[in-house]
Amino acid sequence: MLHNTSKPKALISVFHKDGLAELVNGLIANNYDILSTGGTRKFIEELGHPVEAVEDLTGYPSILGGRVKTLHPKVFGGILGRRNLDSDQQEMKEFEIPNIEVVVVDLYPFEETVAAGGSHEDIIEKIDIGGISLIRAAAKNYKHTWIISSREQYQEAITVLQTGKPSLENRMSFAGKAFKISSLYDNAIQSYLCNEESHQTLSLGETNPLRYGENPHQMGAFYGNLSAVFDQLHGKALSYNNLLDADAAVSLIKEFDDTTVAILKHNNACGLASRSQLIDAWKDALAADSLSAFGGVLICNKEVDAETAAEMHNIFFELVIAPSYSAEALQILQQKKNRIILILKDFTPPKTHYRSLLNGILAQDRNAKTDSKEDLTVKTALNPEENEVEDLIFASKICKHTKSNTIVLAKNKQLIASGTGQTSRVDALKQAITKAKNFKFDLTGAVMASDAFFPFPDCVEIAKDAGVNSVIQPGGSIKDQLSIDYCNANQMSMVFTGTRHFKH
pLDDT score recorded for residue 287? 96
Answer with the one of 324, 344, 364 that is the final residue of a domain.
344
pLDDT tens digits along 46-76:
998 998 888 877 777 777 776 777 778 878 8
| 237 and 283 within one domain | yes
| 413 and 321 within one domain | no
Domain with 334 in it: 225-344
Using CA atoms, how far residue 227 sits from 232, 342, 394, 408, 477, in Å, is 8, 11, 31, 34, 44
* Residues 189/110, Cβ–Cβ less than 8 Å: yes
Please count the CA atoms within 13 angstroms of the CA of 13 that sit on its side-chain side: 29
Answer with the one of 299, 327, 344 that is the final residue of a domain.
344
Nearest to 305 by CA among 324, 280, 326, 285: 326
pLDDT tens digits along 446-492:
999 999 999 999 999 999 999 999 999 999 999 999 999 999 999 99
pLDDT score recorded for residue 202? 54
Which sign, positive or negative, has the C-alpha torsion 26, 28, 33, 34? positive
| 137 and 44 within one domain | yes
Determine, yes or no, domain membership for 335: yes
Answer with the one of 344, 365, 391 that is the final residue of a domain.
344
pLDDT score recorded for residue 72? 83
How far is residue 282's CA from residue 306's CA, in Å, rounded to a whole number? 13
| 151 and 19 within one domain | yes
For the sheet with 33-36, list strands across it: 52-53, 33-36, 9-14, 100-106, 146-148
pLDDT score recorded for residue 199? 39
What stretches of 401-502 show up as alpha helix (H) in DSSP? Answer: 425-438, 458-466, 480-489
Q: How many CB atoms are located within 10 Å of the residue 445 CB?
A: 15
Average pLDDT over residues 327-353: 93
How many domains does one find in the chain? 3
Question: In this structure, what DSSP letter does residue 363 have?
Answer: E
* Residues 401/244, Cβ–Cβ less than 8 Å: no
Q: How confident is the model at residue 3 (pLDDT cuts 50, 70, 90)?
A: very low
| 155 and 104 within one domain | yes
pLDDT score recorded for residue 206? 60
Q: What percent of the chain has pLDDT over 90?
A: 62
Nearest to 307 by CA among 288, 285, 287, 333: 333
Average pLDDT over residues 397-402: 97
- Computed over its alpha carbons, how large is the radius of gyration of the chain? 31
| 182 and 232 within one domain | no
Average pLDDT over residues 3-21: 80
pLDDT at 436 over 50: yes
Out of 1-5, 352-356, 494-498, least confident range: 1-5
Nearest to 100 by CA among 83, 76, 79, 126: 79
What CATH number did the domain enclosing 95 receive?
Answer: 3.40.50.1380
Q: How confident is the model at residue 94 (pLDDT cuts 50, 70, 90)?
A: confident
**Is the omega angle on the peptide bond into residue 405 within 30 degrees of 0, that is, cis?**
yes
Higher pLDDT, 395 or 197: 395
pLDDT score recorded for residue 198? 40
Q: Please give the mean pLDDT across all residues of the chain.
A: 90
Nearest to 203 by CA among 229, 181, 219: 181
Which sign, positive or negative, has the C-alpha torsion 78, 80, 85, 91? negative
Q: H or E segment at 341?
A: strand 340-344
Range of 115-124, 135-144, 492-501 with top mean pLDDT: 492-501
Higher pLDDT, 97 or 362: 362
pLDDT score recorded for residue 57? 79
How far is residue 67's CA from residue 100's CA, in Å, rounded to a whole number? 22
Out of 57-66, 331-340, 430-439, least confident range: 57-66
Determine, yes or no, domain membership for 355: no
| 242 and 182 within one domain | no
Determine, yes or no, domain membership for 102: yes
Active site residues: 140, 266
| 299 and 189 within one domain | no
Determine, yes or no, domain membership for 504: no
Helices (H) and strands (E) in the chain, counts: 18, 21
Determine, yes or no, domain membership for 15: yes
Find all residues with CB under 8 Å of 135, minimum gap 6, and list them. 103, 105, 107, 147, 149, 178, 181, 182
| 52 and 170 within one domain | yes
Nearest to 69 by CA among 151, 131, 146: 131
Contacts 24+ apart (CB under 8 A), 342-349: 342/230, 342/231, 342/232, 342/233, 342/246, 343/230, 343/231, 343/232, 343/233, 344/229, 344/230, 344/250, 344/253, 344/299, 345/228, 345/229, 345/230, 345/231, 347/228, 347/229, 349/250, 349/251
pLDDT score recorded for residue 200? 44
Determine, yes or no, domain membership for 368: no
pLDDT tens digits along 251-265:
999 999 999 999 999
What CATH number did the domain enclosing 490 receive?
Answer: 3.40.140.20
Nearest to 224 by CA among 247, 250, 257: 247
pLDDT score recorded for residue 2? 36
Give the phi and the psi of residue 345 in degrees, each rounded to 5. -85, 165
How far is residue 131's CA from residue 63's CA, in Å, rounded to a whole number? 15
| 177 and 41 within one domain | yes
Q: Which residues are registered as beta bridge partners of 33?
A: 9
Which sign, positive or negative, has the C-alpha torsion 164, 165, 171, 177? positive
Q: Which residues are registered as beta bridge partners of 353?
A: 364
**3-class secondary-structure state, position 186:** helix
Q: What percent of the chain has pLDDT over 70?
A: 96
Determine, yes or no, domain membership for 215: no
* Residues 369/363, Cβ–Cβ less than 8 Å: no
How far is residue 414's CA from residue 405's CA, in Å, rounded to a whole number? 20
Which sign, positive or negative, has the C-alpha torsion 244, 247, 250, 253? negative
| 185 and 92 within one domain | yes
Average pLDDT over residues 13-17: 88
pLDDT tens digits along 100-114:
899 999 888 888 888
Using CA atoms, how far residue 146 sits from 43, 176, 227, 495, in Å, is 22, 11, 34, 53
Determine, yes or no, domain membership for 502: no
| 171 and 290 within one domain | no
- How far is Cα of residue 94 from the mean position of the Cα atoms in its chain? 48
Out of 83-92, 157-166, 233-242, 461-470, least confident range: 83-92
